Structure 1
């Protein structure tokens, strides 16, 4: 029941009654789904296949970077009322040129990674339907359709469904694979692998996740 107490004497404003609804968690689900994306999948899969649990600590740092950046972006917008692009531009004119080059490179690299990582499970589930390249193209076209028609309500429902599927599949795989907990805890120690490009691989993992 909503609070209708008259707070005229105390000078306090009457609280606005809130209605609980599942639709309020929709944006959060979309953010979570886009936050755990191609960068995480590609970077962690490569690191795990090459180094096992050795770089697990780097993946944890990447998660902390991701959380910190997301929190800082939200805090900036709420405190200033301006976008991140406005804040970026306020640092100087050079940021416009830097960001333009960065977006082109990042767009191609991340776009290819997103399409490929999305295509991998589809090609594994349906190996006789299409080759990996065509699955990747199909995933890219589906993303283009969502952006082109700009139907957020539909996008939100689809992402909610896919997040549920991803959660169930991830938990199932974690139980099915039964990871070695001893090695996993050992991987939390900040140790670099005995490889030539271990520093670059570690930075790539942190950046890919974060």
Structure 2
């Protein structure tokens, strides 16, 4: 059975790898430190929403054999609306991913530094961190090969490594099962935790993953009969990703101090309680989370740019490679010199806050079009779930934008 699942494994783990980056690890860490197990329900809500939307995206990719950005540009007939949609998508995904890429690489560096210490070189009078160059080099090689199967195997291995690392860390903390179950199924909402709830959902239901998934399923599956494999692949991978996120919250809940601001602090905080091994497991997980996102973010940006601008989506074309090289290069550069791209990241947050409800709404519209999906369009249940998530996406979008402008 396990062998059979591995045979039909698809882009699902790549989607999980994309949403569990250093940002997710940090948000989950803060949720656990500040609120214990009480926000596990928000994580449960997050990955239910992610499963619903990603299943739609995968189904669209297999049936149409097109990427989501390709369909957007072909289905919007009004030229002004089309141009606005392309500008918004390119801004949020391409520029946004360039901003977040430095964070992905920096997160992976934190994992390495927690185990090996800092590694810096003096170049023309400037101190340059070596680890971002190493991580960028690994990501570059995997992306440049341009072979989906090799990329898939590499990322699946890293996701399994990440999952085992965080799961082991959570088990070492010996959490109360009754408290965990209570946190999962008894929602607690307050003025104190509302921003953390928004962050937990927002860091899991990621707009660029909808584009990435629709594009990647075409690399793996070509026939309608493969839909069952895609659905199983999506559910297993996203649930696994949700479990990983929950494990980080559970691990962080064991720390009885407010002096934890990121996963590196969590690794140090666990060490006196549970020994060096817990610190190593967590550092390993953070490294894997960073490097997987550092690979998937440039890949998603390249697929989106290709779809919006009418380019070939082959991973080996010059234009496709130019986009991911640009994103990866900026990430390595900013991470190496310690540049804090706060304003760019704020812009990316605003763009993504606007984009999530727009893309969720567009996806629902497309998923009900017989001309594109035929008998594989959304059922009533899928539409109800989709519109509930659409409402949540609008709420999150407004809140995240208000937060960026300090109006919340």
Q: Shared fold by TM > 0.5?
A: yes
TM-score normalised by L of structure 1:
0.73
Cα separation, 1, equivalents of 2:51 and 2:111: 27
Q: For 1:173, which of 157, 169, 172 is the aligned residue?
A: 169
Cα separation, 2, equivalents of 1:21 and 1:71: 17
Cα separation, 2, equivalents of 1:187 and 1:22: 32
Paired position in structure 2 for 1:110: 100
For each residue in 1:81-110, what CA deviation from the matched residue of structure 2 results, as whole angstroms up to 9, or x when unmatched? 332012332244121111122124421343
Q: How does 1:94-173 map to 2 (within 5 A)?
A: 94-127=84-117, 129=119, 134-173=130-169
Q: How does 1:1-210 map to 2 (within 5 A)?
A: 22-25=6-9, 27-89=11-73, 90-91=75-76, 92-93=81-82, 94-127=84-117, 129=119, 134-188=130-184, 189-195=186-192, 198-210=193-205
After superposition, the CA RMSD in angstroms is 3.0
Cα separation, 2, equivalents of 1:193 and 1:125: 38
Cα separation, 1, equivalents of 2:94 and 2:158: 28
Cα separation, 1, equivalents of 2:120 and 2:182: 40
For each residue in 1:37-65, what CA deviation from the matched residue of structure 2 results, as whole angstroms up to 9, or x when unmatched? 44432321232223222221111111112
Instruction: Quote how far apart the aligned CAs of 1:162 are.
Output: 2.3
More divergent stretch after superposition (151-160 vs 44-53): 151-160
Post-superposition, which runs of at least 4 consecutive aligned residues in structure 1 deviate over 6 A?
none
Q: Do the aligned residues in 2 keep the contact of 1:54 with 1:193 (CA within 8 Å)? A: no
Instruction: Quote how far apart the aligned CAs of 1:71 are.
Output: 0.2
Q: Do the aligned residues in 1 keep the contact of 2:40 with 2:183 (CA within 8 Å)? A: yes
For each residue in 1:132-161, what CA deviation from the matched residue of structure 2 results, as whole angstroms up to 9, or x when unmatched? 954345323422332233243433332233
Q: Do the aligned residues in 1 keep the contact of 2:40 with 2:180 (CA within 8 Å)? A: yes
Structure 2 unmatched ranges of 5 or more: 122-127, 206-408
Higher helix share: 2
Q: Do the aligned residues in 1 keep the contact of 2:143 with 2:151 (CA within 8 Å)? A: no
Q: Do the aligned residues in 2 keep the contact of 1:146 with 1:155 (CA within 8 Å)? A: yes
TM-score normalised by L of structure 2:
0.41
Question: Which one scores higher on RCO, CA 8 angstroms, separation ≥ 6?
Answer: 1
Cα separation, 1, equivalents of 2:152 and 2:61: 22
Paired position in structure 1 for 2:391: none
Structure 1 unmatched ranges of 5 or more: 1-19
Instruction: Quote how far apart the aligned CAs of 1:29 are.
Output: 4.3
Residues 1:52 and 1:135: Cα distance change in structure 2 (over 3 Å): farther
